[in-house]
């Protein structure tokens, strides 16, 4: 472990990399690879004049379209499931009774009821496609849309360009990437990962706090950390890696020492009534934290509602353990999403932020139209629903439709690539912009011919 308060010089072996210099296991600002995370140098032709942000709510597990936002009340009981539809504040638009608060805000969001993909019906595949627009193939790992934004537009002030809350997606049954890092763009553009539960009463942000052994140091000594590092690693700084470190160290230090950045992560500054409105749970407090991030200048926030689908109540309603029963949509998962999502839209709207902040809520696929023998529904990428609000999207509308049992798109089918194109369009990123891909081969942000879902913006 590298220590800033060491009295003796530290000698480094030849070939030492940045990630070795900043020990990855310290859970402090100077750990977990922050020099790789905070090499924020904007490149490319993205429209920097467009002040646009995005919050991606990733509903890990795959919500059932039939039990959320595309109900089929006239279908046979084994298709329609146990829940009934309710009216919203938009004439002709109905959603599940599990989302009564959402029903009062339907004028703020659009429902896309015809999302689909044709790849394997596994979680990892859907995670990749819905967050990158492409499938992991041939060893090429495509970047998360937030990481592309980070590269092209860079940070605003002292906060990261892209933050991931509360933790990355973990094991969901496959052995493939989940599409939540920068891929071929390099780790410099990986998101800042909170790696903490904001609903924990003892919540603090590990990567913005100095190591415990520095807690006794006086605050004014922090101003000398750069000098301490200079003396300690004079030999190391002659290498190429060190020159890159020198250009990123200031950003890492700035995040830790910036009062604005630290306050953005401080949920104790929110009234208790506001925290309760979002829900005193991991997802609810992550949504509240996302609103604070956007206010502080973070451009993109990704929130994973869950980290796994095993032995935890999630959207993955196969009906038997280690998965979830369909009743959890009524008892836990539905209310959790209803409160957090509605509160987020309310706050963004009331604070004048919704117009330039796209809020996307989607899972990796839908669920089988027919209820299985265990009383649940299985994986179904052939058709599902997602939500989009803000960022130029016109609320109070439904785009696309499914057939009579929500098994296939009936009209206006929407692919994951088109979802990615829609996000890029909202963020002001040209769809023909080329990124430096693997082996230096240029790769467009979306494939030629892929267009955004323009109906959402008219």
What does the pLDDT look like over 268-277, one tens digit per residue?
Answer: 999 999 999 9
Strand 409-411 and strand 401-402: the pairing is antiparallel
Task: Name the pLDDT band for 39 (thresholds 50, 70, 90).
Answer: very low
Give domain status of residue 1, yes or no.
no
Give domain status of residue 361, yes or no.
yes
Strand 401-402 and strand 397-399: the pairing is unpaired
Q: Is the predicted pLDDT of residue 196 greater than 50, yes or no? A: yes
**pLDDT (tens digit per residue) in 282-299:** 999 999 999 999 999 999
Which pLDDT does position 253 carry in this prediction?
62
Question: Cα(146)–Cα(164) distance, rounded to whole angstroms?
Answer: 9
Which pLDDT does position 261 carry in this prediction?
85
Which pLDDT does position 175 carry in this prediction?
84
Give domain status of residue 215, yes or no.
no
Give domain status of residue 444, yes or no.
yes
Give domain status of residue 133, yes or no.
yes
Contact 71, 103 (CB under 8 A): no
Token couple for 323: 């998965």
C-alpha closest to that of 226 among 245, 205, 240, 206: 245
Q: Is the predicted pLDDT of residue 354 greater than 50, yes or no? A: yes
Contact 416, 38 (CB under 8 A): no
Give domain status of residue 64, yes or no.
yes
Question: Cα(236)–Cα(282) distance, rounded to whole angstroms?
Answer: 41
**The total number of structural domains that make up the chain:** 1
Query: 452 is in which domain, residue-wise?
Result: 53-205+271-457
Q: Is the predicted pLDDT of residue 350 greater than 90, yes or no? A: yes
Give domain status of residue 232, yes or no.
no
Which pLDDT does position 34 carry in this prediction?
44
Cross-strand pairs, 54:
300, 358
Q: Is the predicted pLDDT of residue 249 greater than 80, yes or no? A: no
CB within 8 Å of 167: residues ≥ 6 apart = 193, 194, 195, 196, 304, 307
Give domain status of residue 39, yes or no.
no
Cross-strand pairs, 411:
401
Which residue reads 């996307």 in tokens? 360
Q: Is the predicted pLDDT of residue 445 greater than 80, yes or no? A: yes
CATH number reported for the structural domain that contains residue 79 in this entry: 3.40.720
């Amino acid at each position: 472990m590298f220590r800033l308060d060491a009295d003796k010089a530290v000698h480094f072996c030849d070939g030492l990399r940045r990630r070795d210099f900043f020990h990855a296991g310290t859970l402090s600002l100077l750990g977990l690879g922050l020099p790789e995370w905070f090499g924020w140098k904007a490149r490319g032709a993205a429209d920097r004049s467009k002040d646009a942000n995005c919050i991606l709510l990733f509903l890990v597990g795959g919500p059932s379209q039939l039990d959320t936002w595309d109900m089929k009340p006239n279908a046979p009981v084994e298709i329609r499931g146990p829940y009934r539809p309710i009216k919203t504040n938009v004439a002709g638009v109905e959603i599940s009774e599990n989302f009564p608060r959402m029903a009062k805000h339907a004028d703020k969001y659009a429902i896309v009821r015809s999302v689909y993909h044709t790849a394997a019906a596994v979680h990892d595949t859907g995670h990749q496609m819905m967050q990158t627009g492409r499938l992991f193939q041939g060893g090429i790992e495509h970047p998360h849309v937030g990481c592309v934004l980070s590269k092209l537009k860079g940070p605003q002030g002292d906060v990261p360009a892209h933050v991931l809350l509360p933790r990355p997606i973990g094991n969901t049954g496959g052995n493939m990437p989940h599409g939540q890092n920068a891929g071929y763009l390099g780790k410099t553009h990986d998101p800042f990962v909170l790696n903490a539960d904001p609903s924990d009463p003892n919540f603090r942000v590990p990567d913005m706090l100095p190591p415990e052994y520095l807690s006794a140091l006086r605050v004014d000594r922090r101003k000398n950390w750069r000098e301490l590092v200079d003396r300690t690693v004079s030999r190391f700084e002659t290498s190429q890696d060190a020159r890159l470190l020198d250009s990123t160290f200031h950003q890492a230090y700035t995040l830790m020492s910036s009062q604005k950045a630290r306050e953005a992560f401080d949920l104790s500054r929110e009234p208790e009534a506001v925290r309760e409105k979002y829900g005193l749970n991991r997802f609810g407090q992550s949504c509240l934290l996302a609103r604070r991030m956007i206010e502080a200048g973070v451009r993109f926030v990704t929130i994973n509602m869950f980290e796994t689908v095993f032995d935890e109540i999630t959207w993955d309603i196969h009906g038997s353990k280690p998965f979830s029963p369909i009743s959890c949509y009524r008892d836990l998962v539905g209310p959790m999403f209803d409160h957090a999502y509605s509160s987020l839209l309310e706050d963004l709207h009331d604070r004048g932020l919704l117009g330039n902040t796209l809020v996307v809520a989607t899972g990796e696929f839908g669920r089988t139209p027919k209820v299985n023998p265990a009383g649940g529904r299985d994986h179904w990428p052939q058709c599902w629903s997602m939500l989009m609000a803000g960022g130029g999207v016109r609320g109070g509308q439904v785009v696309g439709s499914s057939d009579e049992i929500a098994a296939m798109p009936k009209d206006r089918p929407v692919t994951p690539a088109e979802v990615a194109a829609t996000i890029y369009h909202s963020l002001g990123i040209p769809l023909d912009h080329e990124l430096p891909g693997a082996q230096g081969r240029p790769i467009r942000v979306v494939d030629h011919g892929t267009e955004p879902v323009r109906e959402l913006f008219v």
